[in-house]
Chains A and B, each alone.
Chain A
Amino acid sequence: MLLKELTEAFGVSGAEHEVRNILKREIENCAEFRTDALGNLIFEKPGKGKKPKVMLAAHMDEVGLMITSIGKNGWLKFDTVGGIDDRILVSKTVVIGPNKVKGVIGAKAIHLQEPKEREIALKSKNLYIDIGAKDKEDAEKVVKIGDYAVFDSKYEVMGDLIKAKALDDRVGCYIITEILKKNYDLTLCGAFTVQEEIGARGATVAAYTLEPDIAIVLEGTFAADVPDTKEEGYSTTVGRGPAITLMDKTFIADRRLVDRVLQVAEQNKIECQLRRTAFGGTDGGKIHIAKEGIPTIVISVPCRYIHSPASLTSLGDIQNTIALVDALIKDFQERGI
């Protein structure tokens, strides 16, 4: 199953090749593609060449760790890549570098901690990765400084939901591959982007190249529909369909486009929701201000616990997002922008 394969692939910002290779294989029969200087996978499906030219974008990269030094006992120090809550790190297993070496993020056992230490959440700089090496030399045989590490986490079905790492934004990548399998009269183009998690760097150059008439960014966004959060703090709700962005820290949506999306959703009886927060940021932040400006829509699949080894999302929401994007493209095809 493609979503399983995509979420289990390695692709920390700056090293997205595994994900890119899966996507190349997946779209090679339906679109033309090339890899640009930063590593974005740029694609185009001309259709019958009709306007408007619609850009689709989803980022391939995920948050993770980078090895910064190897201690004399063979322990690895690391930095986080992208926004990771240090408190989720202790005792997680990770997979490191091209050799896929397994490691455990270690910390002092509870027995040895002073009472005060127990009250403080450990920072990433106080943690290390233990790969079971005898010493520095032993570790250096399999790991290099600069190697990336990702969470060791498998795709699993849990009740009505699925659990995986990197749903942000492999769900977006998956949705685009499904859309590219469909046929439209208008030209579809777009990018599977790199380095979103560290500042939407891939999208900046991708949008510059593509010059679309309109862009649709597909994301996995945070859902906070969890205990101890009041309804006004949910941001998005899992199971209630794709979430449309009105504003985040990088982007303010054109209300007319948001209303258009809501209208298309209603006509096609697709359940969707507004993203009810102004936090976060996406590739849309860079795309909408590329060159002279590009009308941009950001649509996200709600995911709980993003940027962790185990995020949860709804397959129904993913299907509804595919249906919404499909309906939206058809609407642009018929009525223009």
Chain B
Amino acid sequence: MKELVKKLTEAFGPSGEENKIREVILDEIKDYADEVRMDVLGNIIARKKGAGEKLMLAAHMDEVGVIVTNIDDKGFLRFSNIGGISPFTLIGERVVFENGTVGVFGMEKMDDIKDLKFNKMFIDIGARTKEEAQKKVRIGDKAVYYRNCDIIGDYVTAKALDDRAGCAVLIKVLQNVKSPRFDTYFVFTVQEKVGLRGAKTSAFGIGPDLAIAVDVTKTGDTPESEKMAVELGKGPAVKIMDRSVICHPKIKEMLIDSAEKNNIPYQLEVLEMGGTDTGAIHLTKDGVPSGCLSIPTRYIHTPSEMASIDDMEKAVELLLYVLEK
């Protein structure tokens, strides 16, 4: 699991530019799925055949990032955010483009740092002129945090654990499932961070009877944090609701029952802000009973998110039981 998480989190894949992460995932799953296809938006839809109802498992492969909106005469890049990033997170941070170009964030002179906004910031890629910059980067190119994945004790810290942690769980489930009781579709979705867009089209294409997303969720276990009854290392969290969905009782109970029968630790999650692919999936066609299994994660959308490898392994165990019991 550790090696897989490292490989997935270090891959490049902001919303709308998921080529590289898609290659990494395809490589992991190609020997295990019965069918693999890509749809118009670029979702990976991998099927593991089974006799029963159609089950859609979804994890998004995109991550937050930035997009270049302008290149000035001196070669500095202006940018906009892709997904929920705070400008304060970017101070002193580096980004990397798909072609390997590295840039560092700078900002205009400001009397009060509270005035910091994206349009007061720029990316410096070490170019001296517009022409020099344009050799490396075009308007519309996207970049992600430039960070390695580190294992710290039982925990892992990396960019893009949101939601490569979920991708890792789905990959491990696909690699280890023998004969699922559902006709199971493993979907690695695109553009979740900008509005659950990939989940919407892939769910329409599959037309599932039920669905479970695997995504990260916030925690309330750090000093003076928001109140939230989810902690790292206490097992995966069964989502009750967030801003995008109220999870279907059938799926909730299926996950809770499976955890209890197998003595797998689990937590219950009510997320006050934020949404997940389940939000788009459950409203597909005439409605899909849907739920979500969450990996508790600290510092979401920063270059150093943190989660527990053990929670991910327990999530795999739980989903394998759901698929095979």
A interface residue numbers (CB < 8 A to B)? 231-233, 246-247, 250, 252-255, 258, 274, 276-279, 288-289, 291-295
In the complex, which residues 284-324 of chain B have their Cβ closer than 8 Å to any Cβ of chain A? none
Distance A258 CA – B197 CA, assembled complex (angstroms): 19
Is B194 a contact partner of A232 (Cβ separation < 8 A)? Answer: no
**Do A246 and B139 touch across chains, with their CB atoms under 8 A apart?**
yes
Q: Does B17 contact A (CB under 8 A)?
A: yes
Q: Mark B109-150, 1 if CB is under 8 A from A, else 0.
A: 000000000010000000000000000000110000000000
Contacts of A250 in B (CB 8 A): 195
**Nearest residue in A to B72 (C-beta to C-beta)?**
A232
Measured between alpha carbons, how far is A174 from B69 in the docked complex, in Å?
29
Q: B72 near A292 (CB under 8 angstroms)?
A: no
Task: Tell yes or no: B217 within 8 A of A by CB.
Answer: no
B39 touching A274, Cβ below 8 Å: no
Q: Does B157 sit at the interface, judged by CB under 8 A?
A: no
B80 adjacent to A288 (CB under 8 Å): no
Q: Mark B171-200, 1 if CB is under 8 A from A, else 0.
A: 000000000000000000001001101001
List the 3 closest A-B pairs by CB distance, nearest first. Answer: A252-B16, A293-B40, A278-B80
Contact with A along B57-84 (1 / 0, CB 8 A): 0000000000101101000001011100
Complex CA gap A293/B190 in Å reads: 12
Q: Which residue of A lies closest to B118 (CB)?
A: A278
**Set of chain B residues within 8 Å of A255, measured between Cβ atoms:** 16-17, 140
CB neighbours (8 Å) of A253 from chain B are 16, 140
Number of interface residues of B (CB under 8 A): 26
Is there an interface contact between A247 and B67, defined as CB atoms closer than 8 Å?
A: yes
B70 lies within 8 A of A232 (CB): yes
Q: Which residues of B sit under 8 angstroms from A252, Cβ to Cβ?
A: 15-16, 82, 191, 194
Interface residues of B (CB under 8 A from A): 15-17, 39-41, 67, 69-70, 72, 78, 80-82, 119, 139-140, 191, 194-195, 197, 200-202, 204-205
**Contact in complex: A246, B200 (CB < 8 Å):** no
The answer to whether B78 touches A232, judged by C-beta atoms less than 8 angstroms apart, is yes
The smallest beta-carbon distance between A305 and chain B, in angstroms, is 20
A contacts with B: majority SS: loop
Complex partner residue of B80 from A254, A277, A293, CB under 8 angstroms: A277
Known: A247-B16, A252-B16, A274-B139. 4 other contacts (CB 8 A): A277-B69, A278-B67, A291-B205, A292-B204
A232: B residues at CB distance < 8 A: 69-70, 72, 78
The interface residues of chain A lying within 8 Å CB-to-CB of B81 are 278
| Beta-carbon contact of A247 and B140 below 8 Å | yes
The one of B17, B69, B82, B201 in contact with A291, judged by C-beta atoms closer than 8 angstroms, is B201
A247-B80, A278-B80, A293-B201 in contact; A258/B195 too (CB < 8 A)? no
- Chain A residues lying within 8 Å of B78, measured Cβ to Cβ, are 232
In the complex, A274 Cα to B16 Cα: how many Å?
A: 17
| A293 and B41 contact, CB distance less than 8 A | yes
CB contacts (< 8 Å) of B69 on chain A: these are 232, 276-278
| Contacting residues, chain A, for B41 (C-beta < 8 A) | 288-289, 293
Return the chain B residue nearest A296 by Cβ.
B40
CB-contact partner of B139 in A233, A276, A294, under 8 A: A276
CA distance A192 to B191 in the complex (A): 27
Q: Which residues of B contact A246 (CB under 8 A)?
A: 67, 139-140
Q: CB-CB < 8 A to A278: which residues of B?
A: 67, 69, 80-82
